[in-house]
Structure 1
């Protein structure tokens, strides 16, 4: 085993996960030692590491989990395994995890191990674990030989591989904890008002008077000088306008028929009266008067049929030409292909 298990409490439920290559005698010794610590009220379970994500394990059913703790092992943890551990641990439960990692980047080498310590730590934190602590130990050459044997490497090249990769692998030991709550757990929030104390409040010092600008709103103040509104008017302003001066001068231009027409930039209202019900589209700012396009917005009544030759977009839903191509008016329409042949 890579590291010894921690002390356990009476009644705890413990889970061990390991690859199928573990030494069964070694596991039985650890199981007996753990069962002795937790007593008859506790339980020790085992699950194959690669099958733990699909195993029928109940939620919050274990207080501690030891994952991949038997050596040698080249198994790595997937995000599904880590999520499963978080689910089956009880609130505040502890996970102890071991995994082979890289100590440095490998050049021109294809390796089944491609994670570093920070990658394993990040995976646990993203899954929801807290208090994640990691410690890395370099892999010895003897243990590296066991790694090559588990990978199924050619025995003739094991020595060459160990020489090349010596000191580049390590074993990370991670301790992580599940938060003290369950997913979906409900808490009652107290939004009640705080009770006020009956003790008399300490006297508050009067605020210092600040110097500010003041506005006098007293209209009856005799000292206020007001402008004489009569002095603001001239004698010409006081003359009452005559009726003739208020009449709009009729200085619009004359057309060929001797009638007045609205000017181009009419402001007297004659243009509005002339264009009542007619929309003028002024295409340019400098357009001449004879180029104004007048559009009558009154809708024109059109027949329901008569545009069949233009195509389906102009045909009624009951048109007999529906589905046929467009044709020229007056042209005789014939059915081609198989429709032009007799049934007999």
Structure 2
């Protein structure tokens, strides 16, 4: 699955990325083999792994990318690198990468490696890659010594590190594919309208039922002959004697406006039953100012604030009232 540098087609564009510590002879061998497969119409490029995120490559430039596939290497991939790979790959392009990972959790140990296989796979999925396959191979003690040398450890530190971390490191080899579409590509979606289901019958009438109780009423029997007479045009016209300037009294259910005009600013009072229907007493509805009170006998509710009877019980009009208390004493 991984490191298959011979599986190329003529005309393909391939990119290799690796740290500066790679073995030059190994890279030249892989490049020559790949160039022979792609032919004169293809191309093989190389980029330092740490500069991939800032490399000026155009979108959809490569058919295949090999990242950090030269051993030994302790370099790891950042999300920016993975995003750059997705952008520069053509639709359906392949990515192959290698990265050192942990085989188990380390307690009370400071390790330069913190990821596991599932962490690398999750990073590729979040970036947008599909068809991801991963295989992790345990690191031998000889390769682990090479790792510690790349990390800059001295001889005593390397020996101590190999003793403590033997069998706890591995190298994950991952292959992934870019989807068969480009970012921003548009597709027309077919949202076909579904036929609306037929409404369910709420109730039905059985016409074959012989029960007399279920017979429907004949609507023609509900109408009299007078109801069937079509009104004439003359009956729909306003009567000639219904004029706004006449002296005729407005009808009870007046709709021509006479009642509103008659009642504007005037209140009609039907005082007695003896007054004829056409006799109307007109009064001015403006309230008149009444001087004095004259209702002192009814009680405090009808007395002014300066009434001399304030606080006294109600009395009959004409009854002689004697004021007690301070009102019964002379001022002199």
Query: Is 1:92 aligned with 2:136?
Result: no
What is the CA–CA distance in structure 2 between the aligned matches of 1:31 and 1:173, rounded to whole Å? Answer: 20
What is the CA–CA distance in structure 2 between the aligned matches of 1:177 and 1:183, rounded to whole Å? Answer: 14
**Alignment-derived partner of residue 285 in structure 2:** none
**Alignment-derived partner of residue 275 in structure 1:** none
**Alignment-derived partner of residue 107 in structure 1:** 107
**Alignment-derived partner of residue 57 in structure 1:** 57
Q: Give 1:112 shift.
A: 1.3
Cα 1:56–1:210, aligned 2, differ >3 Å: closer, same or farther? Answer: closer
Q: Give 1:216 shift.
A: 5.9
After superposition, the C-alpha distances for 1:15-65 in whole angstroms (9 at most, x for unaligned) are 000000001111011100000011010000000001000011111000000
Q: Give 1:217 shift.
A: 5.1
Native 8 Å contact 2:6 2:37 kept in 1: no
After superposition, the C-alpha distances for 1:176-223 in whole angstroms (9 at most, x for unaligned) are 0000000011234467899xxxxxxxxxxxxxx99967776526699x
**Alignment-derived partner of residue 28 in structure 2:** 28
What is the CA–CA distance in structure 2 between the aligned matches of 1:220 and 1:190, rounded to whole Å? Answer: 52
Matches within 5 A, 1:89-168: 89-168=89-168
Structure 1 unaligned spans of 5+ = 195-208, 223-253, 260-344
What is the CA–CA distance in structure 1 between the aligned matches of 2:144 and 2:181, rounded to whole Å? Answer: 40
What is the CA–CA distance in structure 2 between the aligned matches of 1:57 and 1:211, rounded to whole Å? Answer: 72
Q: Give 1:154 shift.
A: 2.1
What is the CA–CA distance in structure 2 between the aligned matches of 1:145 and 1:165, rounded to whole Å? Answer: 10
Cα 1:141–1:219, aligned 2, differ >3 Å: closer, same or farther? Answer: same
Query: Is 1:258 aligned with 2:306?
Result: no
Cα 1:163–1:210, aligned 2, differ >3 Å: closer, same or farther? Answer: same
Matches within 5 A, 1:181-200: 181-189=181-189
After superposition, the C-alpha distances for 1:121-164 in whole angstroms (9 at most, x for unaligned) are 00000000000111110000000000000000121121111011
Which of the pair has more CA radius of gyration? 2
Native 8 Å contact 2:5 2:33 kept in 1: no
**Alignment-derived partner of residue 217 in structure 2:** 218
Q: Give 1:5 shift.
A: 2.3
Matches within 5 A, 1:269-284: none
Q: Give 1:258 shift.
A: 2.9
What is the CA–CA distance in structure 1 between the aligned matches of 2:52 and 2:133, rounded to whole Å? Answer: 23
Q: Compute the TM-score of the two structures, normalised by the length of structure 2.
A: 0.60
Q: Give 1:70 shift.
A: 0.2
**Alignment-derived partner of residue 317 in structure 1:** none
What is the CA–CA distance in structure 2 between the aligned matches of 1:161 and 1:36, rounded to whole Å? Answer: 42
What is the CA–CA distance in structure 2 between the aligned matches of 1:163 and 1:216, rounded to whole Å? Answer: 102
2:44 alignment partner, SS class: strand
What is the CA–CA distance in structure 1 between the aligned matches of 2:66 and 2:127, rounded to whole Å? Answer: 17
Q: CA RMSD in A?
A: 2.9
Cα 1:119–1:221, aligned 2, differ >3 Å: closer, same or farther? Answer: same
Q: Compute the TM-score of the two structures, normalised by the length of structure 1.
A: 0.58
Cα 1:255–1:67, aligned 2, differ >3 Å: closer, same or farther? Answer: farther
What is the CA–CA distance in structure 2 between the aligned matches of 1:29 and 1:101, rounded to whole Å? Answer: 27
Q: Give 1:257 shift.
A: 4.2
1:112 alignment partner, SS class: coil
What is the CA–CA distance in structure 1 between the aligned matches of 2:102 and 2:192, rounded to whole Å? Answer: 54
Q: Give 1:94 shift.
A: 0.2
After superposition, the C-alpha distances for 1:248-281 in whole angstroms (9 at most, x for unaligned) are xxxxxx761437xxxxxxxxxxxxxxxxxxxxxx
What is the CA–CA distance in structure 2 between the aligned matches of 1:255 and 1:28, rounded to whole Å? Answer: 123
**Alignment-derived partner of residue 75 in structure 2:** 75
What is the CA–CA distance in structure 2 between the aligned matches of 1:213 and 1:255, rounded to whole Å? Answer: 74
